[in-house]
Amino acid sequence: MANLLRLSEHPLSQQWLALFRTSEDRAAAAQLLNLLKLVSAREFETGIERALADLQRRINATIAVYPIAPPLPGEIIGYDPFVGGIARHAEADSRNVGKRRKYGSEDRVGHLLAKLQAQFGSGKSHSSIECNPTLTQLKTQGIRHIVLVDDVCGSGKRITDYWRVVPNRIKSLLSLKRYELWIVLYAITSSGRTALTVAMPNFPIADHLITVLPDVDIQKLLPPSVIELCGNYAKLIGRESSALGYRGSACPVVFEHGCPNNLPAILWADRGDWKGLFPNRAVPTDMRSCFDENGTIRAIESLWRINQRKLALSLLDALDRIIPLNLRRRMMLSLLGLCLRGVPETELPRRLLVSNAECQKLLRSAARTGLYDNNTSQITPLGREFVVRFRARFGDANRSKPVGKDPAKYYPQQCEGEFRKLGKTDRS
């Protein structure tokens, strides 16, 4: 299947949209789908790898990286692949004893970190990026920088729970400034940032929290009608508490390796007659091709919400042409349109839901072609004219055509052997 510009066009999306009761609800649900940020496996791994490599080069020291994983239940000491959960004590009474282990996104992150250790190894017994070193290894190798890594921080609970089981020895050395703590994430929500600030008050979150994407919040991207839709249908399927994601975390990011529970429940819940698009937070195989999408529709939505409606409609018209605009030009026009409405340069990645590196690449390209001035952070006169002319295309294409008054233009010369006869009143 060829790549689709809109997630709502996918056949599985059409089946999901059919679950909604009215055409208005289906339109709102389609809008929700088209605003999601779909992150492919390659995009995720590349983003995390670059963030860690940049950090290691910046501090010029070995870093110890740990995937953030949920702690084991209190009565479980470990898992055996055939026995299941192993009790800490023989008399332990735990619902998790004998239950199989469930693999999560932390396992994918751990595999990525293990590959980075091998990649950044020097041929000796250690690497400049050490994955899961023990306390003894931290001491013998003189590692002072500890990095916690995860895909997304939605509600913040996952990180705060992990922080509770971090050994007191490490916390003590952090407080004494013997160790330095960093957190690297692909994405974080505003509620997740708040939770980290409360749970880890001494963590220098301003400069030691590194994210690939800027802070994301679906409530700032969605119109009230879509937010209301998520609440109404969450009640119908018994997921009212997760109407906008777990603990209302409202994250618009879906990874190819899985759908976080931070998204609205109507997207992943699987109850009774309701079949989520990402059932039980799994990504159907048939939807993998969608994860190479380019984000144009989100950019157009951003233009519409800041009253750049003619430019947004012109871009939509360009998408539906036989030979549409290429990706670079579409994103460039979206970026220039936001700048013309006074959106500051620092806010552009959040509006477009792209990384700072991607945004800077677009700005450099605009500067090279004379559309943007890096010194003033303003659109140049040429850039303004470029946007104005493209925006005018929509008005030209949809301008109403004059209707002729002569009825002779609309009636045939003869019909069933009878010749056309028009009176004077017919021509008036």
118-140 tens-digit pLDDT: 999 876 668 999 999 999 999 99
Residues in the chain where the model's pLDDT stays below 70:
1-5, 123-125, 292-297, 319-325, 394-428
Unique residue bearing structure tokens 């947004």: 312
State the pLDDT at residue 2. 45
Q: Which two tokens stand for residue 32?
A: 């929700």
Angle, alpha carbons 164-268-275 (nearest 5°): 150
Q: Which two tokens stand for residue 267?
A: 């997207």
Give CA–CA dist 148/92, Å, rounded.
31
State the pLDDT at residue 222. 80
State the pLDDT at residue 319. 67
State the pLDDT at residue 1. 40
Q: What are the angstrom distances between the C-alpha of 159 and each of 64, 69, 128? A: 17, 8, 24
**Can you tell me whether residue 222 is helix, strand or coil?**
coil
State the pLDDT at residue 122. 74
Answer yes or no: are the C-beta atoms of 85 and 101 closer than 8 Å: yes
Angle, alpha carbons 141-143-147 (nearest 5°): 140
Q: Which helix (H) or strand (E) covers residue 380, if one does? A: none
State the pLDDT at residue 89. 81
Give CA–CA dist 91/177, Å, rounded.
42
Helix axes 381-398, 309-319, angle to 10 degrees: 70
Give pTM, 2 decimals. Answer: 0.80
